[in-house]
Structure 1
Amino acid sequence: MGNTDIFEKMADRYDNSERVQIAKIASDAIREYVVDAKDKTAIDFGCGTGLVGMNLLDDFKSVLFLDSSQNMIQQIKQKIAEFNIENADTLCFDFEKQGQSELQADYIFMAQVLLHIPDTELVLSRLYDVLNPGGHLLIVDFDKNESIVSDLVHNGFDQADLAERMRKLGYRDIQSKTVYSGSNIFMNQDASIFVLDAQK
């Protein structure tokens, strides 16, 4: 996945107070769209150190923490062991390089992950294939921000444009809204964060 080598280096010092706060905002936004999911499976896609998924463990039957960074996965394994979590598992896997797997899930959520993925359509299409019929993909990411110029990440997303691109891939019943605005939260720029819910 995009920028894996960067995340490999920062895994053991990733969990700072700002990231914990943003993860809480993201998980609360995702939870709004999760209905009667105690018997459903979920994937925390591009999970990092699991800050978002850990907040949502009680909402699902099980959560698979998936990331392309082995060091990030190691951080989650330590948390699972430390807290004796029984409804979580981990997988180091790169959807951009490895193509389809045998994975299936009722919910996939990804928080501040899409901006790191160069070919967003490819990954969104592969995630569509992983979803069970009627399943949900939930995306939390930054609104498009023209003041950000970077070779490493997208400068956010226009919600309507992203929804239209996802419709072309087969997603339906797409809804989104901005859930948070903050100062210096995106490449040292003021930015806003949206949540998008799409169904297979």
Structure 2
Amino acid sequence: MGNTDKFEIIANTYDTPERIQVAEVSANAIRDYLVDAKGKNAIDFGCGTGLVGMNLLNEFNSLLFLDTSPNMINQVKQKISGSHGQKAATLCFDFEKDSLADLHADYIFMVQVLLHIKDVELVLSRLYEVLEESGHLLIVDFNKNEKVVSDMVHNGFEQRELIDMMTKIGYREIQSKTFYTGSKLFMGHDASLFILDSQK
């Protein structure tokens, strides 16, 4: 996945107060869309240090923390060792390079991950294959922000364009809304986050 090298370097210092706060807000937004999730299996896709997933661990039967960065996964392993061991697992894997035929989940959530992915449609298609029938993919990311100029990340997304792309892939019952606005949130610029819920 894009920018893995960068995340390898910052893994040990990633959990800043700002990131912890945004993770809590994002987890709460995701929680609003969960239906009978206690018996379901979930994937925190592009989990980073597990900030969002740790907030949602008790919402699911099991949670797989998945990321392309070994150092990020090591941070998650430290957090889940002990009491959470039976509910949580980790996997270091890159969906931009390959697909996983034997991986399945009822819920997949990804928070500020899509902006790092070069081929958005390819990854969303591969995640569609991972979802169980009627499973949910939940995306939290930045609304398009013309002030952000970067050759490393997308400068956010138009919700309508993303919905159109996902509809073509086969996702249905798609709904999205902006739920959070913060200062200096996106590469030093004020920005807003949206949440999108979709079903297979």
Tell me the TM-score normalized by structure 2: 0.98
Q: Is 2:42 the counterpart of 1:39?
A: no
One-letter code of the match for 2:101? S
Q: Is 2:151 the counterpart of 1:151?
A: yes
Equivalents in 2 of 1:99, 1:89: separation in Å? Answer: 19
Kindly report structure 1 stretches of 4+ aligned residues shifted beyond 6 Å.
none
Aligned to 1:174: 174
One-letter code of the match for 1:187? M
For residues 172 and 84 of structure 1, do their structure 2 counterparts lie closer, same or farther at Cα, with a shift above 3 Å needed?
Answer: closer
1:86 Cα deviation (Å)?
A: 2.1
For residues 149 and 81 of structure 1, do their structure 2 counterparts lie closer, same or farther at Cα, with a shift above 3 Å needed?
Answer: same
One-letter code of the match for 2:78? Q
Equivalents in 2 of 1:57, 1:99: separation in Å? Answer: 25
For residues 70 and 183 of structure 1, do their structure 2 counterparts lie closer, same or farther at Cα, with a shift above 3 Å needed?
Answer: same
Question: Counterpart of 1:65 in 2: which secondary structure?
Answer: strand
Equivalents in 2 of 1:28, 1:105: separation in Å? Answer: 20
Write the mapping of 1:128-143 to structure 2, written as runs, cut at 5 A.
128-143=128-143
Question: Counterpart of 1:97 in 2: which secondary structure?
Answer: coil
Aligned to 1:23: 23
Unaligned runs of 5+ in 2: none
1:85 Cα deviation (Å)?
A: 3.7
Equivalents in 2 of 1:13, 1:181: separation in Å? Answer: 24
1:102 Cα deviation (Å)?
A: 1.2
Cα RMSD (Å): 0.8
One-letter code of the match for 2:88? A
Write the mapping of 1:48-87 to structure 2, written as runs, cut at 5 A.
48-87=48-87
Equivalents in 2 of 1:97, 1:154: separation in Å? Answer: 19
Write the mapping of 1:87-166 to structure 2, written as runs, cut at 5 A.
87-166=87-166
Tell me the TM-score normalized by structure 1: 0.98
Identity %: 65
Unaligned runs of 5+ in 1: none
Aligned length: 200
Deviations 1:92-115 (A, max 9, x none): 000011223310000000000000
1:84 Cα deviation (Å)?
A: 4.3
Equivalents in 1 of 2:171, 2:118: separation in Å? Answer: 20
1:83 Cα deviation (Å)?
A: 4.4
